[in-house]
């Protein structure tokens, strides 16, 4: 004869839950346990029974001891099944393989094996509550680190106060691509665009724009730009011009936006100078490649 003592617990119903089963076969006791982060008490009661039945050999004579009238009355009195149909189907299939006697026991009435199952289920549910609290605490730390620095407590745009920051050397590198038809690219190579030397003008435009970043982006700080370089190269396999900018400063903030501004304006200048030859020119891939100095370093 085999006995299974089962119980389930849930905090919140629905909420974090746990289940426990004590399986006794020929006097040998086996403990089964588990749970879910978001579940119900009835589902945990059912999971305890299901997992207990799963570990039995077929055609066993087994008594299931549970303090759940939800289970015993449904299995013995035909209570209507309004929910948890997935678990009922699984329980029916497992019970059909065995000879099951469903035995209701009064909860917290001193039955040591029922109390053990209850204790296991409760501990499983509590462990998930603790884990959820730890996860939320970690999430709050992440949220604090990921808050938008240019938004104040009321949700309004705000320039960040950097007065307490120390000046450090900062550098950034950015890139962008300008895609076009091979015929347009050939005109640029041959310096045959009506407006002039595309690559030279785009290079100067990027450098000039970098120094004007704080004038164009409202919440950027004016910073001393130590150096900014813009390099443009023709990539014939992609029918594109590749733009790379590098910028540096000694300051309290920056200098990613200055590098990105240089790339962006260089790309737009290429479009402006070549639009008479082609209107389908496409700018894409503008991104930060690398940033060093300050609170965080970054590399794409």
What are the tokens at 17? 């839950």
Contact 40, 14 (CB under 8 A): yes
pLDDT in tens, the chain (300 residues): 789 999 988 887 788 889 999 999 888 888 898 888 888 889 999 999 999 898 888 888 999 999 899 999 999 998 888 888 899 999 999 989 989 999 998 877 778 888 898 888 888 888 877 665 555 555 444 444 445 555 555 555 656 776 667 788 999 999 999 999 999 999 999 999 999 999 999 999 999 999 999 898 888 888 999 999 999 999 999 999 999 999 999 988 879 999 999 999 999 999 999 999 999 999 999 999 999 987 778 888
Q: What is the pLDDT of residue 135?
A: 55
Instruction: Give the class (CATH, top level) of 2-142.
Output: alpha beta
272 is catalytic: yes
Tell me the domain boundaries of the chain: 2-142, 168-299
168-299: CATH number = 3.30.70.640
């Amino acid at each position: 004869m085999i006995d299974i003592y089962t119980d389930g617990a849930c905090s919140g119903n629905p909420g974090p839950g746990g289940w426990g089963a004590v399986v006794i076969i020929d006097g040998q006791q086996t403990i089964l346990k588990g749970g879910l982060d978001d579940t119900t008490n009835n589902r945990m009661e059912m999971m305890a029974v299901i997992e207990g039945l799963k570990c039995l050999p077929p055609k066993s004579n087994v008594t299931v001891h549970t303090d759940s009238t939800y289970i015993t009355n449904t299995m013995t009195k035909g209570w209507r099944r309004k929910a948890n149909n997935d678990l009922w189907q699984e329980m029916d299939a497992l019970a059909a393989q065995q000879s099951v006697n469903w035995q209701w026991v009064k909860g917290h009435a001193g039955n040591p094996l029922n109390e053990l199952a209850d204790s296991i289920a409760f501990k499983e549910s509590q462990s998930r509550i603790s884990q959820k609290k730890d996860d939320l605490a970690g999430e709050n730390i992440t949220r604090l680190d990921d808050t938008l620095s240019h938004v104040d407590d009321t949700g309004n745009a705000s320039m960040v106060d950097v007065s307490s920051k120390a000046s450090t050397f900062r550098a950034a590198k950015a890139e962008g691509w300008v895609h076009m038809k091979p015929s347009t690219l050939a005109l640029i190579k041959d310096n045959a665009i009506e407006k002039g030397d595309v690559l030279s003008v785009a290079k100067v435009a990027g450098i000039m724009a970098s120094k004007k970043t704080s004038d164009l982006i409202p919440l950027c700080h004016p910073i001393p730009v130590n150096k900014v370089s813009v390099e443009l190269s023709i990539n014939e396999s992609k029918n594109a011009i590749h733009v790379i900018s590098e910028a540096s400063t000694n300051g309290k903030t920056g200098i990613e936006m200055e590098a990105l501004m240089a790339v962006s304006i260089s790309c737009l200048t290429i479009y402006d100078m070549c639009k008479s030859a082609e209107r389908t020119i496409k700018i894409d891939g503008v991104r930060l490649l690398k940033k060093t100095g300050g609170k965080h370093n970054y590399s794409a």
